[in-house]
Chains A and B, each alone.
Chain A
Amino acid sequence: MSEIIIEPVTRIEGHAKIAVSVGPDGAVTDARFSVTQVRGFERITVGRPMHEMPSFMARICGICPTSHLLASAKACDEILGVTVPRAARHLRRVMNLAQIVQSHALNFFHLSSPDLLLGFDSDPATRNIAGVAARAPELARDGIALRKFGQQIIETLGGKRVHPAWVVPGGVSTPLSTEQRDNILGAIPDAHARAVRTLEWYKENLASWAEEAAHFGSFPSLYMGLVHHRTGNAAYSDGHLRMVDAEGHRLLDDVDPRPYWDYLGEAVEPYSYLKSPFYKPLGYPAGLYRVGPLARLNVVDKLGSPVADAELAEFRLRLGRFPHGSFHYHWARLIEILHCIDTIGQILSGPDILDQDVRAHAAVNNLEGVGVSEAPRGTLFHHYRVDKDGIIQWVNLVIATGHNNLAMNRSVLQVAQRYIKGDEVREGALNRVEAVIRAYDPCLSCSTHALGQMPLVLEIFAPDGELVRRVTRSPA
């Protein structure tokens, strides 16, 4: 048996490697996605005051600091035992939606569009955002503008684009001014138009990716996401948990997401630092479920904004009510970008948004708290225990990418079986193995490999461990 190792996996956020095992007949027998970094946030925060947690946790990632900020602040809200003022709740929602827009734009335009626009088999030297800008400048411009739209909202609200400290336990630190609101509202029509234009481009080209769509992690699974408890619409910041199976049966519906240990188990594999959560009643690894854009579109009844809902209807018309191909994360991401832009407009047009009461204060009233929100990549759980003085004693994080770990492994195997035969490995095949991982937009830490050509090493080992072939792709 031989082993093929792809390391590092490029154009994802973080460091990972893929190991593919090939049997004597040349057929792929196993494939594993390993996260090779340990971060240790659950340990280094022990002993710190709880009010530091939101900013501390934001440092987990430079792409989605706001998601961690929010989930962490919500866990702290529960420890304080406070009700967050209404305006603060809405402002937190706006920041979370802006975060989803900018993160989705980063994945779609900067990381994924080179494959989609230029082709999976195209010259790797130009298969990057610069290549996209040369071939389709309008698409690249839309990507940059949409990311900027999200980042500028975060900066307007929080004072800076990355790691703002504005979301605090009990609410937010400063209210919104009329000028800030009007600035954000003024940017919405342009962002909306760009999102619609990108969706049109994607839909026109969907047929050309039929081959990938059919083999990129296309298998039935469970899906999990937060939905509004009354309407069943998408709820990114404060929702109830819903889990559906491949046929749409609701395994969990309208349940409080906080006691996640009732529903989710967490397995650990020796080859990866990333945990593998699973749906408890089905056991490990049968309880494989997916989260993130595709999962959210599958669990919600509707999104809750009219234009995006029309897009969702078309999505379901063309792919079925519960599409199972992970390739469709891309389309789902674009629909979510549109929905988030429009929802930001809805929220900011509300009557109480400028309210000055944006923060509740309290001492420690509960020794334990769980904060749950939808991050761009899926449902995010922060779980803390403190002593009576508010000093952190224990932390558990279940991050969005973790939920997808089992599904990513399954997807890698599927793609490897399709595109790799023996030690015959074409560049395009390697990239397809990477690309299926990229479809999930895994956020492994905080480093981006977006520009240029990253080094890629492929090693094939004979059964006795001897290196029989080594293919190196050097950095540009």
Chain B
Amino acid sequence: MSEVRTLQIDGKDVAARSDQTILSAAQDNEIGIPTLCHLEGLSDVGACRLCVVEVEGTPKLLPSCTTRVEEGMKITTTSERLVAYRRKMIEMFFVERNHICAVCVANNHCELQDLATRLGVDHFDLPLMHPKLPVDATHERFAIDHNRCILCTRCVRVCDEVEQAHTWDVAGRGAESLIVSDLGTPWGSSTTCTSCGKCVQVCPTGALFEKGRSVAEPKARRPYLPYLVRVAEREQ
């Protein structure tokens, strides 16, 4: 049974349920916090760290998508320090893999690109890592390009939580992690994949895409996800 909590976000007094996250409470009060791995309808994992906020009395920055509200919290969602952190995180996503917007299927429809624009990331201070990463195009309709994957795990979660196929997982450690299908078999030989395409729909970048789409060709819009979640919940 949830209770009411009162707290301050950016100096504004707000009320929230005790089972709400800071992000959710902020969104209810129309306070924008940048997010990337978060997607309405899926569980939160705090993978991208873009939604970090400052909480008075805590020296650490906390991810707002996985931190529950507490009574009397004083939260800051925008400060010089936070903007600098978020910029650096966007920069690290870019330098960690090979993001070439000019030839990307998601160009102009990419959440990473949008955030970079919004936060004013116009150059990189860190060196580009240029990893050699494969493209798995063995699936009949879809392909995954690890060069553009930011390991947000939206695909893993939607496949598990909504489609309930659990084709996708994360293999490896740290920056060398890779999204794998069926414990590392080529996507085209996956026996669990239902070819529903939800992973492609939720991918924030051009890492998962429909084969045959050319550069800067948007995929279908994704607001249907909350609807699918409700259907899945009703069936259970």
Binding site for B on A (CB under 8 A): 47-49, 51-52, 54-56, 59, 163, 165, 168-169, 173, 361-363, 389-391
Contact = CB atoms under 8 A, between A and B. Distances in A.
Contacts of A173: 214, 217
A389 B137 contact: yes
7 contacts: A47-B134, A49-B135, A49-B211, A52-B214, A59-B102, A163-B102, A173-B214
Contact of B135 (A48, A54, A165): A48
B211 A52 contact: no
A361 B212 contact: yes
A216 B199 CA distance: 61
Q: How large is the interface on B (under 10, 10 to 19, 20 to 34, 35 or more residues)?
A: 20 to 34
Contacts of B145: 49
A166 to B, nearest CB: 9
Contacts of A168: 214, 217
A56 B211 contact: no
Contacts of A362: 212
Given A49-B145, A59-B103, A391-B137, A165 B211 contact: no
B214 A390 contact: no
A343 to B, nearest CB: 27
A332 B204 CA distance: 50
B102 A54 contact: no
Nearest to B214: A168
Contacts of A390: 137, 211
Contact of B138 (A51, A163, A165, A389): A389
B143 interface: yes
B39 interface: no
Nearest to A45: B103
Contacts, number: 55
Contact of A51 (B107, B140, B188, B214): B214
Given A55-B103, A56-B103, A59-B102, A391 B215 contact: no
Contacts of B137: 49, 389-391
Contacts of A52: 103-105, 214-215
A394 to B, nearest CB: 16
A48 B213 CA distance: 13
B135 A47 contact: yes
A358 to B, nearest CB: 13
Interface centre among A49, A59, A362 (most CB of B within 10 A): A49
A258 B199 CA distance: 39
Nearest to A56: B103
B214 A165 contact: yes
A163 B100 CA distance: 14
Interface centre among A48, A52, A168, A169 (most CB of B within 10 A): A52
B216 interface: yes
Contacts of A55: 102-103, 214-216
Given A52-B103, A173-B214, 12 more contacts: A47-B134, A49-B211, A52-B215, A54-B214, A54-B215, A59-B102, A165-B217, A173-B217, A389-B143, A389-B188, A390-B137, A391-B135
Contacts of B138: 389
B195 to A, nearest CB: 14
A51 B107 CA distance: 14
B102 A363 contact: no
Nearest to A53: B103
A55 B102 CA distance: 8
Given A389-B137, A391-B135, A49 B143 contact: yes
A363 B103 contact: no
Contacts of B134: 47
B212 A165 contact: no
Contacts of A56: 103
Contacts of B213: 51
Contacts of A165: 107, 214-217
B215 A363 contact: no
A165 B215 CA distance: 6
Contacts of A389: 137-138, 143, 188
Interface centre among A56, A165, A390 (most CB of B within 10 A): A165
Interface string B124-161: 00000000001101101001010000000000000000
Nearest to A387: B137
Contacts of B105: 51-52
Contacts of A47: 134-135
A54 B215 CA distance: 9
Interface string B192-228: 0000000000000000000111111100000000000
B109 to A, nearest CB: 12
A391 B188 CA distance: 14
Contacts of A361: 212
A47 B132 CA distance: 10
A48 B211 CA distance: 12
A389 B103 CA distance: 19
Contacts of B212: 51, 169, 361-363
Contacts of A59: 102-103
Contacts of A163: 102
Nearest to B206: A52
A52 B134 CA distance: 15
A391 B134 CA distance: 10
A309 B129 CA distance: 56
Contacts of B135: 47-49, 391
Nearest to B139: A389
Contacts of B104: 52
A361 B214 CA distance: 11
